[in-house]
């Protein structure tokens, strides 16, 4: 090249693919290369003759084409004889030309006569770059994959992603950054410590399009400066575009909770807390009752409303729909079955031991502890299942009473209680009442007083009673008067012959129940003598009285010549 030395650095960036050429030309004389042309597709550079300072250090951009011989991009002959490259036109690359990876490119610097009248042989050329096998000298990965950096994962659904990979800068670039172009055109810069290991993560990005471009900068002393103030920055490789989309709204899912079985009048809680929304939108709730006895929900818009179950059995169906602010869910239903709970009978505590009931005392049964979980009104049914039969004050009362029977020996009475809630009977419950026997004294009755004539046969009329109904024995004795002989002192009704003299005879009777004697009872027998005068009865004078008047009969004028005490008998 007649002493012309060239140093070329080539790297790429995406669409349309372009080549940047840093050209540093040092020549022994004033001649300069007119153009750099690949053997296949070519690109034109400004003439060094007309722009001598430009070639000292400048970046030249040109659209690059395919490796095929599809178009001559530079003129093949000079247009001016004196200085054939002066003011030479630049020839753009046609759009139909495309550069591909692994293209073989040979760059030639043709000789030409220019500057200072020195002419170079235009037919002579030197190949200074003979092989470029790949475009991936440094780029951000886009789609299709043409470089080494990537953006992952798919941000259209996550809003979070990482731009990572490797780019190759030139030797003059000492500091690096990642340029972010945001929706609306604003930019931000992120520091990159190592261009061969770029990894910058982003999260919570709003919907929109973001473009990322690796950049190398030639400035100095950036160690403590933010990347936004770097200077002398140029793009390295291709950019990558990330689109963050607002995801399509997903309809929420209503969950009315599991079916329930509850008692009548119970407090019931519906539970829609398992309703969900894939987009994590805030949900609103809408409850309604679709069948069954109508109840009142504490709130139709609460997540978990409550209500009181009705007093009747049956199935209640509730429907829940949730909304995520955009669309309603499909309704979900829950069935609440109201059931009747069997009542529980409680016949009360046993009355035994120190709580035993003494015979003859009043005893009370107590079924007030019976219950019904549903709160239904109970009816009672008592019955006696064992022991000496007694009569209850009421067989349908909650707490009936009875009188403990008189017993020869202590005994247990068993009573059974069944309650009903209007639908079903309870299981029977029983209680035992222990009756403690204590032998009660019998009662003796010696009969009525008598008046007899001397020599008459007299019969005493004794009797007795015993609370326990035990068999009684009799014991007669004479306590005053002329002694007589009883036909039997142990008979209930012994006889004797009245003495011949007038007088008063007193007899005493005791009965025995086999354990205890009764209290003695007495009877008086008056014996009338042979000279006894017959007493005279005087019923008084006749009377005339008004209707309904109180009338008194007067027998006080009756008399006895013997001055015997008189007894009276009206009829």
> Domain boundary at 436, 470, 486, which?
436
Structure tokens at 79: 């247009």
Closest to 85 measured CA to CA, from 60, 56, 107, 114: 114
Closest to 301 measured CA to CA, from 336, 275, 339, 335: 275
Decide: 44 and 7 in contact? Cβ < 8 Å.
no
Q: Tell me the mean pLDDT per 10 residues along the chain, length 571.
A: 31 31 27 34 38 34 32 35 35 36 34 33 31 28 38 60 82 86 93 86 82 85 80 85 79 97 94 94 97 97 97 96 95 97 96 93 97 93 97 97 91 97 96 91 94 93 89 96 95 94 94 91 89 81 89 89 84 88
Report how far residue 381's alpha carbon sits from residue 394's, in angstroms, rounded to the nearest whole number: 9
Cα-based angle 447, 453, 457 (whole degrees, multiple of 5): 60
Q: What share of the chain is helix, strand, coil (3-state, %, to 5)?
A: 0, 35, 60
DSSP state of 530: T
pLDDT at 165: 80
Q: How many CB atoms lie within 10 A of CB 340?
A: 18
> Domain boundary at 284, 305, 339, which?
339
Domain membership flag for residue 143? no
pLDDT at 149: 55
| 493 and 460 assigned to the same domain | yes
> Domain boundary at 339, 371, 405, which?
339
Helix-then-strand count for the chain, H and E:
1, 33
For residues 291-319, one letter each, b for 16 or more C-beta atoms within 10 angstroms of the residue's C-beta and e for the rest, the string is ebeebebeeeeebebebebeeebeebbbb
Domain membership flag for residue 290? yes
Please give the residue range of the domain that contains residue 304: 260-339
SS3 call for 384: strand
| 418 and 452 assigned to the same domain | no
Closest to 511 measured CA to CA, from 446, 450, 439, 437: 446
Checking DSSP bridges between strand 429-436 and strand 357-358, what pairing results, if any?
parallel
Q: How many CB atoms lie within 10 A of CB 478?
A: 17
SS3 call for 354: helix
Closest to 100 measured CA to CA, from 74, 135, 124, 125: 135
**How many domains is the chain built from?**
4
Domain membership flag for residue 131? no
Sequence-distant (6+) residues with CB within 8 A of 53 are: none
The model's pTM: 0.40
Report how far residue 570's alpha carbon sits from residue 555's, in angstroms, rounded to the nearest whole number: 9
Domain membership flag for residue 11? no
| 431 and 450 assigned to the same domain | no
CATH classification of the domain holding 213:
2.60.40
pLDDT at 159: 66
Report how far residue 344's alpha carbon sits from residue 369's, in angstroms, rounded to the nearest whole number: 9
pLDDT at 69: 31
Report how far residue 390's alpha carbon sits from residue 384's, in angstroms, rounded to the nearest whole number: 8
Please compute Rg for the chain using Cα positions. Answer: 67
Decide: 3 and 33 in contact? Cβ < 8 Å.
no
| 189 and 240 assigned to the same domain | yes
CATH classification of the domain holding 357:
2.60.40.10
């Amino acid at each position: 090249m007649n002493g012309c030395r060239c140093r070329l650095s080539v790297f790429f960036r995406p669409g349309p693919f372009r080549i940047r050429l840093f050209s540093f030309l040092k020549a022994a004389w004033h001649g300069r290369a007119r153009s750099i042309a690949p053997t296949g597709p070519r690109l034109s550079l400004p003439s060094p003759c007309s722009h001598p300072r430009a070639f000292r250090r400048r970046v030249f951009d040109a659209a690059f084409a395919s490796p095929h011989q599809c178009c001559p991009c530079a003129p093949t002959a000079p247009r001016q004889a004196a200085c054939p490259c002066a003011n030479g036109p630049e020839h753009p690359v046609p759009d139909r030309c495309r550069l591909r990876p692994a293209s073989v490119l040979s760059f030639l610097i043709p000789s030409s006569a220019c500057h200072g009248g020195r002419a170079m042989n235009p037919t002579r050329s030197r190949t200074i770059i003979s092989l470029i096998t790949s475009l991936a000298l440094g780029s951000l990965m886009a789609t299709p994959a043409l470089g080494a950096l990537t953006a992952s994962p798919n941000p259209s659904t996550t809003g979070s992603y990482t731009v990572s990979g490797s780019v190759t800068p030139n030797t003059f670039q000492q500091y690096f950054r990642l340029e972010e172009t945001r929706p609306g055109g604003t930019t931000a810069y992120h520091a990159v410590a190592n261009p061969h290991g770029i990894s910058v993560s982003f999260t919570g990005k709003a919907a929109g399009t973001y473009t990322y471009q690796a950049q190398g900068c030639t400035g100095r002393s950036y160690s403590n400066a933010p990347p936004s103030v770097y200077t002398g920055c140029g793009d390295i490789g291709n950019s990558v575009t990330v689109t963050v989309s607002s995801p399509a709204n997903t309809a929420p899912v209503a969950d009315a909770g599991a079916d329930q079985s509850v008692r009548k009048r119970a407090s019931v809680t519906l539970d829609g807390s398992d309703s969900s929304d894939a987009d994590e939108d805030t949900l609103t709730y809408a409850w309604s009752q679709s069948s069954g006895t109508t109840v009142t929900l504490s709130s139709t818009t609460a997540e978990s409303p409550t209500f009181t179950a009705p007093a009747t059995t049956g199935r209640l169906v509730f429907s829940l729909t949730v909304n995520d602010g955009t669309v309603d869910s499909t309704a979900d239903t829950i069935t609440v079955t109201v059931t009747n709970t069997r009542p529980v009978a409680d016949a009360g505590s046993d009355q035994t031991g120190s709580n035993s009931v003494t015979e003859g005392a009043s005893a009370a049964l107590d079924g007030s502890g019976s219950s019904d979980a549903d709160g239904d009104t109970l009816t009672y049914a008592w019955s006696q299942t064992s022991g000496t039969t007694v009569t209850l004050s009421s067989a349908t009362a909650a707490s009936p009473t009875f009188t403990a029977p008189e017993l020869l020996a202590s005994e247990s009475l068993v009573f059974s209680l069944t309650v009903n809630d209007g639908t079903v009977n309870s299981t029977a419950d029983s209680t035992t009442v222990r009756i403690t026997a204590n032998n009660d004294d019998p009662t003796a009755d010696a009969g009525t007083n008598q008046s007899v004539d001397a020599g008459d046969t007299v019969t005493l009329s004794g009797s007795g009673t015993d609370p326990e109904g035990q068999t009684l024995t009799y014991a007669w004795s004479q306590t005053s008067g002329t002694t007589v002989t009883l036909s039997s002192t142990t008979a209930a009704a012994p006889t004797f012959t009245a003495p011949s003299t007038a007088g008063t005879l007193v007899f005493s009777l005791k009965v025995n129940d086999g354990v205890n004697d009764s209290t003695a009872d007495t009877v008086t027998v008056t014996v009338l003598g042979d000279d006894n005068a017959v007493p005279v009865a005087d019923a008084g004078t006749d009377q005339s009285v008004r209707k309904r008047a109180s009338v008194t009969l007067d027998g006080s004028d009756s008399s006895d010549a013997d001055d015997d005490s008189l007894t009276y008998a009206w009829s």
